[in-house]
Amino acid sequence: MKKHNFYAGPSILSQFTVENTAKAILDFNGSGLSIMEISHRSKEFIAVNQETIGLFKELLDIPTGYSVLLLHGGASLQFAMVPLNFLNNKAAYLDTGSWASKAIKEAKLIGEVDIVASSKDKNYSYIPQGWKVPSDADYLHITTNNTIFGTEIKTDLDVPVPLVADMSSDIFSRPLDVSKYGLIYGGAQKNLAPAGVAFVIIKNDLMDKVQKTVPTMLNYKVHAENESMFNTPPCVAIYAALQTLKWYKQKGGLKVIHKENLRKADLLYSEIDRNKIFKSTIPNPDDRSIMNVCFVMEDKYKDQEDAFNSFVSSKGVVGLKGHRSVGGFRASIYNALPYESVEVLVETMQEFEKKY
């Protein structure tokens, strides 16, 4: 039976990515060697690295004066790297969920943190509005998409200090105005590649502002100067990322992908709003993520959660269980998830409604 993969991450990748990666693991470019077995200093792998960075720049229309880094450690290491490199006076953070809170926790280990706003009061079910960034902050940190709670900042903000954004779960979901950002980072395991590589898009002049001694592996400038080859990179994950980026290009780029994502999100949110058994956990439609759709059962149907979980499993749906901090269900509908899988989920919700 065909599986419909709604995992929050690691999550669905394109068949193009899966098949080409498997092929390169058996035999990379007809070399007789596996992509796992070749030197990262070989001209073959250097070409993979450069093509990946080139497609990042092309697809996201990254202006000159920015570097793209492919690093170890996931977004969680970025939580520490950002303040280690840039927190001198104080840093501003917008608290919109668990991942934002983790980033705040790391920054507090390093220096003063000003939380400009938080939606913790309502279990992170909205994006705070009307907050101000202190003009003496070294940077403002935001988490654009909140994987666990299902909210998303869907525009590129204008702020008076360098804007640092964790885009782990919505990078490549829409065109971006990268010029609004000082630094964008994320783990790869949603819209890009298997877990094991993090990306950083960084404005070069930011790197010259570092005042402290930073461990070499945590120093952005070192990685930029070494074109992300300061140490052995996670070659397989980078190769898989390259396949995903090629697939995005073949599809027509981020405008096309964004349109598909909106269509998938509309279909699912419309059903959640219509269906009598379910409700969205995010009241304001403007705040609803187009990547992670969180929903719960109306109170009087709460005892049917297990029944619904079994029912969707029987249709080949996997990864729909909500995070324990929200409960209910979470449908992660990343770029690679076909429209058809959302249709299957929606039909299953309709069938379930008829049964009760």
What does the binding site for its own copies look like in residue numbers (CB under 8 A)? 1-3, 5, 7-13, 17-19, 21-23, 25-26, 31-40, 42, 72-77, 79-80, 84, 102, 105-106, 109-110, 187, 189, 193-197, 213, 215-218, 230-237, 240, 316, 318-319
Q: Known catalytic residue: 43?
A: no
* Catalytic residue from among 95, 99, 247, 287: 99
Q: Residue 184: beta bridge partners?
A: 165, 201
Q: How far apart, in whole angstroms, are the C-alpha atoms of residue 56 and residue 155?
A: 19
**Which is nearest to 27 in space by CA: 225, 239, 226?**
239
* Contact status, residue 319 vs residue 332, Cβ threshold 8 Å: yes
The alpha carbon of 56 is separated from its chain's Cα centroid by a whole number of angstroms, namely: 14
Q: Is 25 or 157 the residue whose CB approaches its own copies more closely?
A: 25
How near is the Cβ of 9 to its own copies at its closest, in Å? Answer: 7
State which residue, 126 or 335, has the beta carbon closest to its own copies.
335
Say how far apart CA 207 and CA 220 lie, in whole Å: 7
Given 154, 190, 246, 264, the catalytic residue: 190
Closest CB to its own copies among 154 and 223?
223
Residues 200 and 178: their CA atoms lie apart, in Å, by: 12
Closest distance between its own copies and the C-beta of residue 237, in Å? 6
Measure CA of the first residue to CA of the last residue in the chain; give whole Å.
26
Question: Strand 292-297 and strand 278-280: pairing?
Answer: antiparallel
DSSP 105-156: HHHHHHSEEEEEEE-GGGTT-S---S----TT-S-EEEESEETTTTEE--S-
Instruction: State residue 333 phi and psi, 5-degree precision.
Output: -120, 60
Does 190 participate in catalysis according to the annotation?
yes
The single residue of 95, 166, 170, 287 carrying the catalytic annotation is 166
Write down the least CB distance from residue 1 to its own copies, Å. Answer: 7
* Angle made by CA atoms 355, 311, 276, in degrees to the nearest 5: 45
Active site residue ranges: 99, 166, 190
